[in-house]
Amino acid sequence: MEYLPQIMFVIILVISVYFFARKVRQIRRNILLGRDADFSDNKDLRWKNLLLLAFGQKKMFRNPLVAVLHFIVYAGFIIINIEVLEILIDGIAGTHRILAGVSSGLYFFLINAFEFLALGVLIACAIFLIRRNVIKLKRFISRDLDGWPRSDANYILITEIVLMALFLIMNAADTLLAQRGVEEYAATPGNFILSKSLHPLLEDFSNQTLMVTERAAWWLHIVGILAFLNYLPYSKHLHIILAFPNAYYARLEPMGKMNNMPSVQNEVLYAMQPELAPSDAQAPEKFGARDIFDLTWKNLLDAYACTECGRCSAACPATQTGKLLSPRKIMMSTRDRIEDVGKIINEKGSFEADGKTLLYDYISVEELNACTSCNACVQECPVAISPLEIILELRRCLIMEDSKAPQEWNSMFSNIENNFAPWKFSPDERDQWVNS
């Protein structure tokens, strides 16, 4: 029975890591269902993007107050979890604050810094909850967040508040026990600045009750972190991890540049100059994307990296004028389709057609036709996602494969084909407007 806590800890740890690793492998497999694409160019600029966009959160600082609050939560998540290293060692070895013996001065400084970060995370998460549920900012109450996505954000914020509170309670009970000379807590190097303020709430507790409080907070804190770890892959907060590769593999071309299909360009060239056409020239198998398999792996990574913050939709002129299109919903629908395909692969070993496609079943024609290709969504995304790439590929399939362009667009296409311009004027008469 002496080693029962360590055995329980190891079992919980192994199970948590196993299920997290399994889900991560599935997500990686799902992302690689997309077409291959080369993003190996200009490594220096890519590392710069990773540092500025992912680590530095450059785009967030367009709104400094929100950016600072978000950075506190982000820093808290990254830095405070250094403390998890000690918890892991203590849990496996059955020790208590083992790292305090390495350098009590440095340890005292770090835990105090972690406590200030914990308080910052508590305050920031509370403010974010108020923004979402009391003030109800427009981008947080739009229809594309109805149901699980809205609840997901609240669950994460509440979880972070609880984890930070447990951290402070654990430290407060621990230092109070050390003050009282309880042998098991002798390694604790004095009082910590913030958790000390909780001592008045605990002073009436007996040593036994304090030990139960400290152990309960310790167990709930680490189990909560491991539960959070396994919740992460099912949540929009997966961007905590995927924002980094997504920023590194961001498109480096100017945002207004669209990806053309070389096969289509060659078709036009051969039509105008038949003598250049090779004897074995073949028409492309398909145009654009109908399902996730036709998108690139980077498009699928974009979908998983989406933070659902809504900055893209808040900047989208189509969304703001009441059109059905929401760039955020485009990314969420793409991710839903990837996950549905992944479930089929999990069940059957490989994908078997389910009678659905990303185009039509997850993203509608009305949504695609509402896009103005203005790039506002790409410009605003804090983690370098491009909803426009997916929209253009789906729309290319819609028009070139299924011939479902609006009549106004067909007229424009006809004019471009016959008159080399969108207007219904002969090229020879194009300059006649100067005489009117």
Stated as kind and residue range, the H or E segment containing 302 is helix 297-305
Under 8 Å between Cβ of 48 and 248: no
- Angle at alpha carbon of residue 366, lines to 362 and 372, rounded to 5°: 110
Residues of the chain by 3-state class (helix, strand, coil), percent to 5: 70, 0, 30
* Per-residue pLDDT at 373: 93
Predicted local distance difference test score (pLDDT) of residue 129: 93
Q: What is the pLDDT of residue 433?
A: 67
Taking only the tens of pLDDT, the chain with its 436 residues reads 678 889 999 999 999 999 999 999 999 999 999 999 999 899 999 999 999 988 888 888 888 888 888 888 888 777 777 788 889 999 998 888 888 877 778 888 889 999 999 999 999 999 999 999 999 888 888 888 888 888 998 999 999 999 999 999 999 999 999 888 888 888 788 789 899 999 999 999 999 999 999 999 999 999 999 999 999 999 988 998 999 999 999 999 888 788 877 777 777 777 777 777 776 666 667 888 999 999 999 999 999 999 999 999 999 999 999 999 999 999 999 999 999 999 999 999 999 999 999 999 999 999 999 999 999 999 999 999 999 999 999 999 999 889 898 888 888 888 887 887 887 777 777 777 677 6
**What is the spatial distance between Cα 305 and Cα 244, in angstroms, rounded to a whole number?**
9
The pair of three-digit structure tokens given for residue 272, joined into one six-digit string? 């105008």
The total of other beta-carbon atoms located within 10 Å of residue 254's CB is 7
Q: Provide the 8-state DSSP code for 204.
A: T
Concatenating the DSSP letter of every residue in 269-303 gives HHHH-GGGS-TT----S--S-SSGGGSBHHHHHHH
CATH architecture for segment(s) 285-423 = Orthogonal Bundle (1.10)
User: Distances from the Cα of 173 to the Cαs of 38, 119, 200, 201, 214, in angstroms?
Assistant: 54, 17, 11, 10, 5
Determine the pLDDT at residue 369: 94
In this predicted structure, what is the pLDDT of residue 262? 77
Interatomic CA distance for residues 86 and 43, integer angstroms = 36
Res 265: pLDDT: 76
Pairwise CA distance, residues 385 & 377, whole Å: 8
Maximum C-alpha span of the chain: 99
Please list the residues that pair with 363 across neighbouring strands: 359
Integer CA distances (angstroms), 1 to 8, 267, 428, in order: 11, 77, 95
Compute the distance between CA of residue 298 and CA of residue 55 in angstroms, rounded to an integer.
20
Q: What is the reported pLDDT for 223?
A: 94
| Six token digits for residue 319 | 């969304």
The SS3 call for residue 35 is strand
